[in-house]
Structure 1
C-alpha cells in the first residue's frame, strides 16, 4: 500500500518512514503542503499522513481542498495542538482520524492499520489463495504453516495482487503502487521481482502459480479454480502445449525474417537508384532508417557482421553518398543481402527457449503459448515509433512556445571479445544499469529510450544545449566512476560517449537534430573523449 507523508519535522518523519517501510508500506514524503497537494493530485494513495502546521498550505486547508474535489483518500492528521477545538476543526475539514504529537509509534501504526481496514471493510483480515496465506497484521506469508521468506517488494507485490484479485496491473501501475517517487525502477526490475516471487512460491510448495501474466497488459491474481495438474516435459512445458509453442515459434520467426527481408529490399532499392543517379530524399531517408533498424535487429539474431555492415551503410546515407563512394556503398549492400540470406536459412534463435522468456509467461495454454513468442518478437524487433512520436511532440511544443530543445545520443562500446555469447548477459546488465541511471538523472517529461545497438536517445524539452551538455557530462561521469561488475564478479570494460544537438541552432526538425547529434558523437569518439 502507498502512503503520502506530509510532515516538515524530519526528526518525526525519518523514524516514521522507516517504521512504515518495515511494515511494507511505500512512502512518499514531502515537507511542503503545496508539494504534498501536487502529489495527492497526481498519484493514487491509500492513506495521507498530514501534519497540521505546514509551509505554504496548512493541513486543515489541505483536507478541505481535497474533499471539495471529491477525493475520498483516507487522511490521518498529525499535530502537536492537543485541543478539542483543533480536533473538531480537523475532523470537520474531512480528516478520518487525528493523532496528537508526541505519539507512540506502535499505536500510530495500529491506527493506520485500522483506518486502512475501514477504507476496505470488505477485505478479509487474512488473505488466502489456495494453500497460501498472507497475514497483513503480522506481515507473514505461510504455505501449509511454513513461513516464506520474501523481500519487502515481493511481499508488497503479493499483497497487492491478493487484495485486488480482479485487477490487472501494468508495470507502470506496479511502480506507482510499490515504489516511492525517489526510487522508481526500470520495467525490467518489475519482471525480476515477479520471477523471484514465483520461484519462492513454487519452492515453498504453493499449489500452482498465483500470478497470471496478461499479455500486453500486465499481471493479475490467477483464479484458484483454474488450476489443473499438468504433466510437464523435461523443459518444463506441458506436453499438450509443447507442440503449440514450437508451431508458434516457427510462425513468429517467419514474420521476423519477412521484416528483415523488407528492410534489406528498401536498402537495395536505394542502391539501385543511386547507381542510376535517381536517389531522391524520400527513398534515401527510408533506406537510412531501415539500415539503422537492421544494425540493431541483426545483432540480436546472431549476425554481428550484418549489424556492422548496416551501420556502415547508415553512416554513408547520413552524410550523403558521394560519387567516389557509390561503388563501396553497393558492395556493402550486396554483402548485407548475403548476411540476411544466411540468417533466413537458420532455425529460430536459441533465445526463444530462454528460461527468462518462458518464466515471464506462467500459463501455457494455447493462447499463452502464443503470448510467449509474440512477446519475445515484440522485444527483439526494434520499434521506435512511439519514442519518435514523443520526440516530435516535444520538439513541436518547443517551437510553439519559442523554447529550446536538445537531443542527446549516448553510446556504449565494449571490447570486441566481450560481444560473444558468454558476455551477452553482462552486456544486458550494463544496458539496464544505464537505462535506470538515465531515468533518475532526467525529468519525467524527458523522452528516454533505448534504440538498440547499445544506443540511448534522450530528448529534453525546454533545455538549452549548454544545460543538456552539463546533464550528459554528469551522467557520463557517474557511468565512468561506477564499477560495472557482472554476477560472477568479473569486470566489464565499456566506454561511453555522447553527442548533443540543440534546437534551433543545430537543426529545425528531428532528422536534422539526430544527424547533428550523431556527428557530435562520432567526433567525441574520434577525439577519444566524451
Structure 2
C-alpha cells in the first residue's frame, strides 16, 4: 500500500515516513502544499496524511482541489488545530478522518489501516481468501492456520491483491501502489514476487489474466465460475 505524507515540519515528516515504511507501506513525502497537491494529482495513493497548515498552498485548498478533480483516495487530515470549526472545515472539504497534534503514531497507523480497508470495502482487519488469512494489524500471513514467512515486498503485493480480492489488477497498478515514486517502473520484480508468493502459498493463489494482470479470488468462487 502506498501513502502520501504532506507535512512541512521536517522532523515530523521524516519520523512519519520512517514509521510508516517500518509498518510495511511505500511512502512519498512532500514538504509544501504545491508539491503535495501535484503528487496527489498525478500519482496513485491508497491514503494521504495531509497537514492543514502548509506553506505555498494550505491543506484545505489542496483537499478541495483534489476532490474537484475526482481524486477519491482516503485523506487523514493532520493538524495542530483542535477547534470544532477546523474539524468541520476539514471534513466538509472531503477529509475522511481527522487527527490533532500531538498524537501517537500507533493511532495514526490504525486510522490509516481502517481508511484503506473501508475504501476497499472491508470491515475486518483480517482479510481472507480460502485458506489464506492476512492480518493487517500484525502483518502476519497464514495458510490453513500455519504461518507463512513473506518478505516485505511479497507482503505488500499480497496485501494489495487481498484488499482487492476478485478484481483484476494490472501490473502498472501494482507498481503504482506498492512502490514509491522513485521505483524503476520498467523492472520485472512484480513477476518475480508473484512467482515467489505462488511457491509459498500455492500455485493457484494468484491467477494471471493474460494481457490484463493478476487476480486473487476464493477457490470456491473460481469453481463457481
Q: Same fold (TM over 0.5)?
A: yes
Contact persistence 1:26–1:178 (CA under 8 A): yes
Deviation at 1:61, TM superposition (A): 0.9
Structure 2: distance between partners of 1:116 and 1:52: 21
Using the TM superposition, give the Cα deviation of residue 169 of structure 1 relative to its aligned residue in structure 2, in angstroms. 2.4
2:8 is aligned to 8
Instruction: For 1:9 and 1:95, locate their aligned partners in 2 and report how far apart those are by CA, in whole Å.
Output: 21
Distance (whole Å) between structure 1 residues aligned to residue 106 and residue 125 of structure 2: 19
Counterpart position of 1:42: 42
Residue equivalent to 2:174: 174
What are the residue-to-residue correspondences of 1:342-491 with 2, within 5 Å?
none
More strand by share: 2
Q: Any residues of structure 2 matched to 1:85-484 within 5 Å, and which?
A: 85-202=85-202, 208-225=203-220
2-side partners of 1:225 and 1:176: how far apart?
30
The structural deviation recorded for 1:83 is: 2.6
RMSD (Å) for aligned C-alpha atoms: 2.2
Distance 1:58 1:147, change over 3 A: same
Matches of 1:165 and 1:14, distance apart in 2: 33
Distance in 2, Cα, partners of 1:110 & 1:223: 26
The structure with the largest helix share of the pair is: 1
Counterparts of 1:161 and 1:195, CA distance in 2: 14
Give unmatched runs, 5+ long, in structure 1.
Answer: 203-207, 229-530
Structure 1 contact 171–187 (Cα < 8 Å) conserved? no
1:77, 1:52 → 2: CA distance? 7
Kindly state the Cα deviation for residue 150 of structure 1 after the two structures are TM-superposed: 0.6
Alignment correspondent of 1:71 = 71
TM-score normalized with structure 1 length: 0.40
User: What are the ranges of 5 or more consecutive residues in structure 2 without an aligned counterpart?
Assistant: none
Q: Once structures 1 and 2 are overlaid, which stretch shifts more, 90-99 or 147-156?
A: 90-99
- Find the aligned partners of 1:110 and 1:97 in 2 and give their Cα distance: 12
Tell me: higher relative CO, structure 1 or 2? Use CA pairs within 8 A at least 6 residues apart: 2
Q: Against the structure 1 CA distance between its residues 226 and 54, is the aligned structure 2 distance closer, same or farther, given a 3 Å change threshold? A: closer
CA positional deviation for 1:77: 1.1
TM-aligned CA deviation for residue 17 of structure 1: 1.4
Give the paired residue count. Answer: 223
Which deviations, in whole Å up to 9, do the C-alpha atoms of 1:327-356 show, x marking residues without a partner?
A: xxxxxxxxxxxxxxxxxxxxxxxxxxxxxx
The residue that corresponds to 1:410 in the other structure is none
Determine the C-alpha separation between the residues in 1 that align with 2:218 and 2:107: 36
Q: TM-score scaled by structure 2?
A: 0.88
State the 1:187 CA deviation.
3.1
CA distance in 2, matches of 1:168, 1:174: 11
Q: 1:114 and 1:170 mapped to 2: Cα distance?
A: 24
Q: Secondary structure at the match of 1:76?
A: strand
Structure of higher CA gyration radius:
1
* Post-superposition CA distance 1:11-44 (Å, at most 9, x none): 1112211221222222121112112111222123
1:82 Cα deviation after fit: 2.7
How big is the shift at 1:51? 0.9
Aligned equivalents of 2:199 and 2:214: distance in 1? Answer: 16
Instruction: Report the alpha carbon displacement of residue 124 of structure 1 after superposing the two structures with TM.
Output: 4.2
